[in-house]
Amino acid sequence: RVSSTELKSLRETCAVRKHNPFGLSIEEYERGVYLVIGAYKDLKKILEKCSTHPLKIKVILEEE
């Protein structure tokens, strides 16, 4: 499981990479496309997903 601290860091990392192909505002970006990471235990893999799948912008933690 990914902690909320890791999740916050991950969101910031993905945002810094500016994978925002739609030219959305930050608010729209935050509400935008979701990458559900409940299945991913390894943060490195999640970051790779962020960097290689730019349409999957927002990272959320799936409730188990």
Residues sharing a CB contact under 8 Å with residue 57, sequence separation 6 or more, in sequence order: 14, 19, 20, 29, 32, 33, 35
Does residue 58 register a pLDDT over 60? Answer: no
Give the start-to-end residue ranges of the domains of the chain: 4-60
Q: Span 41-56, mean pLDDT?
A: 56
The reported pLDDT for the residue numbered 2 is 59
pLDDT per position as a tens digit, 3-48: 667 666 666 655 544 444 444 445 544 444 444 444 445 556 656 6
Nearest to 1 by CA among 52, 46, 39: 39
Predicted confidence at residue 29, as pLDDT, reads: 45
Contact by Cβ (8 Å): 10, 60 = no
Radius of gyration of the chain (CA): 11
1 pLDDT above the threshold of 50: yes
